[in-house]
Amino acid sequence: MESLKVMNNNQTQPTEPAIIVSPVPSSQKLFTHFFIVGGIVLLLLVAVGGYFLGQKSKTNSPSIPSPTTYPQVTTQPTIDETVNGKTNTNLDQNQIPTPTTIPTTSLTYNLPSGWRTVQEDSKTFEIGYDPRIYSVSTTNNNSILLAKVGTHYSVSLLPYNGGSRHQFIYDKLAIKDPNQDKMPTYHEKEYIYNGWSCLVLYGLALSASGDIHGMCAVDSSHAFLLESIPDEQIIRTIKLLQNP
């Protein structure tokens, strides 16, 4: 029995095989390191190259300016007229026709041969007339009226608000709707006489006396009303003798 025990105690116990890890050669580590670094550098080069290519394409491509939006301007004719810096804005647009651009003609004083002059009673102004055709009717109330058989004309110095010259004429002649009184030959003319701004309406038939009416703005407070005058020659005979 004892010999059997000894045999069992000396019997070699089986052992598990050991796992042997082979070390990685140093050359393989260097290759892996260079591969990783090279990949990073390549990515950086690609990124930088793409950036510069993009900048170059922007520089070379022509720039197209964005369209500019301009405010829409609507031009409308005005019915106001300004004389000596004063404007009348309280006008009825249905009552006043739209004025158009009118050429201006300069006039100078001229008393034709054979004409005479007549003064208003207060000696404020005088005008000329042809005694072979007209006779003096009245010279009072800041007005001179000359007449012949079946017709007459007058020049009056009246208060003026410095506003629309059209409206001044319409108001003084009691014209409600000037369009109804216009003849087919109606037209307007602008004159400058003695520094005054004159507007004459031709073909505005109000009566049998005549169809030429107008005004001359002396200043922003006074104007001459020209009613049924034969022509603009009458303007050239007006002389202001004293301040109104």
Report the Cα 36 to chain-centroid distance in Å. Answer: 72
Closest listed residue to residue 85, CA positions, set 194, 166, 197: 197
Measured distance CA(21)–CA(31) in Å, rounded: 20
pLDDT tens-digit profile, the chain (244 residues): 444 444 444 444 555 555 554 555 555 666 666 667 777 877 777 776 676 666 665 555 555 555 544 444 343 443 345 444 444 444 444 444 444 467 799 999 999 999 999 999 999 999 999 999 999 999 999 999 999 988 899 999 999 999 999 999 999 999 988 888 899 999 999 999 999 999 999 998 876 657 899 999 999 999 999 999 999 999 999 999 998 8
Q: Are 240 and 124 in contact (CB under 8 A)?
A: yes
Measured distance CA(39)–CA(223) in Å, rounded: 97
φ, ψ of residue 162 in degrees (nearest 5):
80, 10
Domains and CATH numbers, the chain: 83-240 (3.40.1000)
- At 121, the amino acid letter reads D
Helices (H), the chain: 2-10, 26-60, 165-172
φ, ψ of residue 215 in degrees (nearest 5):
-160, 155
Parallel/antiparallel/unpaired status of strands 104-107 and 182-193: parallel
Residue 117 carries which DSSP code?
A: E
DSSP codes of every residue in 48-96? HHHHHHHHHHHHHSPP-PPPPPPPP---------EETTEE-----TTTS
pLDDT attached to residue 143: 97
Instruction: From residue 1, give the alpha-carbon distance in Å to each of 4, 12, 13.
Output: 5, 20, 21
Instruction: From residue 216, give the alpha-carbon distance in Å to each of 63, 117, 121, 164.
Output: 60, 19, 20, 12
Q: Can you name the residues that pair with 94 across neighbouring β-strands?
A: none
